[in-house]
């Protein structure tokens, strides 16, 4: 799994809209066969307002590139949520689930939302600039 990067929903939305800082990064990761998403991102893209107009594009992005929310990842996410909540630094369930999957599979996470994810101990963030 060397070189793989899990990409957050915000950057994929940039790519699908053709504007924003995620466009170049997603293109490079797709071209290098390095882009991966989580089941959480697949869900978020599915319920997004642009889904019907971009259904095929979204399915192409997530099909065979999605890491699951398996029991180990769910337990890691629970650890993240409990630790952050106890510290008064909650980041929300979806972000904890994303972090749990990345930690479980030991993969870096590309996101613009560093404010939330910098709080997660042990999570490697991929430079999106």
Mark the binding-site residues for Mg(2+), compressed into ranges: 8, 95
Q: Which residues pair with 126 in a beta bridge?
A: 110
Q: What is the DSSP letter of 128?
A: -
- Contact between residue 14 and residue 23 where contact means Cβ atoms under 8 Å apart: yes
Residue 23: Cβ within 10 Å count = 15
Helices in the chain by DSSP H: which ranges? 9-17, 22-31, 39-47, 55-62, 71-86, 93-105, 114-117
Residue 123 tokens read as 């999570």
For residues 19 and 5, what is the distance between their CA atoms, to the nearest angstrom?
20
Binding site, by residue number, is 8, 95
């Amino acid at each position: 799994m060397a070189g793989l990067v899990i990409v957050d929903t915000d950057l994929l939305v940039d790519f699908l809209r053709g504007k924003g800082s995620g466009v170049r990064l997603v293109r490079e990761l797709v071209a290098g066969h390095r882009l991966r998403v989580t089941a959480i991102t697949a869900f978020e893209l599915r319920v997004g307002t642009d889904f019907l107009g971009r259904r095929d594009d979204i399915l192409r992005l997530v099909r065979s590139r999605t890491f699951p929310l398996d029991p180990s990842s769910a337990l890691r996410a629970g650890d993240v949520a409990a630790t952050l909540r106890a510290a008064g630094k909650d980041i929300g369930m979806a972000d904890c689930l994303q972090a749990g999957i990345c930690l479980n599979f030991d993969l870096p996470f590309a996101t613009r939302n560093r404010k939330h994810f910098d709080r997660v101990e042990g999570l490697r963030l991929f430079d999106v600039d």
